[in-house]
Amino acid sequence: MANRSRRVVPAGLALVLALVTAGCNANSQSTEPTKDKNTTALKSAPRGGTLHYLSRRATESFETANAQMVPTSRLRWVHRGLTSWRTLPDKDTILVPDLATDTGTTDDGGKTWTFTLQEGLKFSNGSPITAQDVKYGIERSFAPMFQGGLGYHKTLLVGATDYDGPYDGKELDSIEVVGDHKIVFHLTRPFGNWPWIVSMPAFAPVPAAADTEPETYGEHPVASGPYQVTSFRKGSQAVLDRNPNWKADTDQTRFAGPDKIVLDMGLNNDTIVQRLIDDKGEDKTAISNALISPSQFQRIESDPSISDRMANSPSGYFRYLAMNVKRPGLSDVRVRQAINYAVNKAELQSVYGGPKFGGQITSTIMTPGIPGYTEYNLYDGGDTGNVDKAKELLADAGVSGLKLTLTYPTDVSAIEEKEAQSIKNSLARVGVKVELKGLDGNTWSELVSSADGDYDMTTNGWGADFPSGMSTIQPLFASSEIDNGGGNASKFSNPEVDAAIDAAIAEPDLDKAAEMWAAIDKQIMEDAPIVPILVQRTQALAGSKILNYFIPAYPPFANELVVGVDR
């Protein structure tokens, strides 16, 4: 059920830009405030100016059918969804209506979901946005040419596993259109998080009449958001101008401050960072997806004129050590608990850049910013570990001279090798000998996602696709996610946990579901299949004239929809 491609690159690296003071309202032709977006720490952005986006991607695309971007990303400058995310600097991310009038209704416990579109919405070409356009946009994502992307809907919609898209004239009957404004989704099972799923890129409307060249549609899409693509040179530059048919009073999440957005593609990562550090000319109004390396932090931190423009996420990605519970040396829970006590998390934190840039030490599965997150520590050995307690547990288990393998990928960054060495050193303190095995990323991925992988332990990172415990707990710990490319690297299988996961997935009351996920988090850690290590932080720079850029607790990226330019 879960998307299977959410492993994340080790951080101390990031995608996020500086938090600066906001300006006036952007949702009016005047500079006077015209509406409250229900924010307490975030104002709207001033209208006007040109925003520059510096991209390290070889090419950017505004294709939604196979996109993995979150709903606060630059893709949403051009496209809207049925729902969207509202982020604030100091509050949890919430789900709000976008094209729809509400966040969805269900009358059967979450198996059937109904959304009604706002009336009067138009595409950039002047045609009305209808429920049929949303249905067609979703159906495109099933076409073989668009494999990839966030694919929860591809297993949840009835009949979806046998559907190959609309290009052979077939429709997916489980997406039902009633008139111009109502769309009904029929799912294979109750799924309480469906309102979050419909915020994902594939749920953007696409008029079938405009989809004459699907392979290149992402270069010249018909816009439903506040900007339209007016120029596109693949691998070079895209220019976005205002969509005259977008109406601010229909949109709860986009400020649409800049008059124009210029997106430059294929730039060298280090060159982007240096340009933002230098802060000259048009780079003063630039944001980017460049990764800041730990080696650059000292330079940035030493100069307030630069450090004031760097944002640092309050939360981030989940970094952990997975223990293969099917292996003889790790089948006893006391051994796994001992390893939890033994690991020196402070040293691992230092490997990733320290508490300020690397991340915060953690003892839970869910991360801050995910509803239901509750702080607890079942194996509190302090930040540096408790050697005596670990030795005591190993003795209780009758274990001595234990030898284990620790497998890790070698082609991501040097940090993972240092991380593995640190864990080896930690376990050596309690008499556990660890052999390190570095593998190329593809080989590593195949090994840890197969049921009979020949390894004892592996390091991993994970990022949730949407703010629910389901998006981390189910793919990493459900029995269904063992083998066939699944993310259950610890091979953890507990029928009671599986039943609890199924119940939480089905719960349509998201507040109640959050409490259920919190309980499951602790239930899993009682079996100690992993060692939670860090919540990895993300950082990045913005130009000195960028307004209203910040990193919420979730997602650990800047909200590109609310940015403004100080003129």
**pLDDT above 90: residue 339:** yes
**pLDDT above 70: residue 5:** no
Tokens of 455: 């390894």
Tokens of 381: 């050995």
Distance of CA 389 to the CA centre of its chain: 36
Q: Collapse the DSSP code of 409 into the 3-class scheme (helix H, G, I; strand E, B; otherwise coil) and give the result.
A: strand
> What pLDDT is stored for residue 42 in this prediction?
63
What's the rounded mean pLDDT across residues 400-419?
A: 90
Q: Report which DSSP code applies to 137.
A: H
Helix ranges (H only) for 360-437 are 387-396, 414-428
Percent pLDDT > 70 in the chain is 92
Q: Which CATH number is 317-536's, of 3.40.50.720, 3.10.105.10, 3.40.30.10, 3.20.20.80? A: 3.10.105.10
Q: Collapse the DSSP code of 107 into the 3-class scheme (helix H, G, I; strand E, B; otherwise coil) and give the result.
A: coil
Domain ranges of the chain: 50-270+540-565, 317-536
> Beta strands of 324-444 (E only): which ranges?
359-361, 403-409, 433-439
Give the pLDDT band of residue 10 (cuts 50, 70, 90).
Answer: very low
Q: Which of 201, 317, 273, 267 is nearest to 551 (CA)?
A: 317
What's the rounded mean pLDDT across residues 89-109?
A: 95
| CATH fold label, 50-270+540-565 | D-Maltodextrin-Binding Protein; domain 2 (3.40.190)
**pTM of the prediction?**
0.89
Q: Are 450 and 442 in contact (CB under 8 A)?
A: no
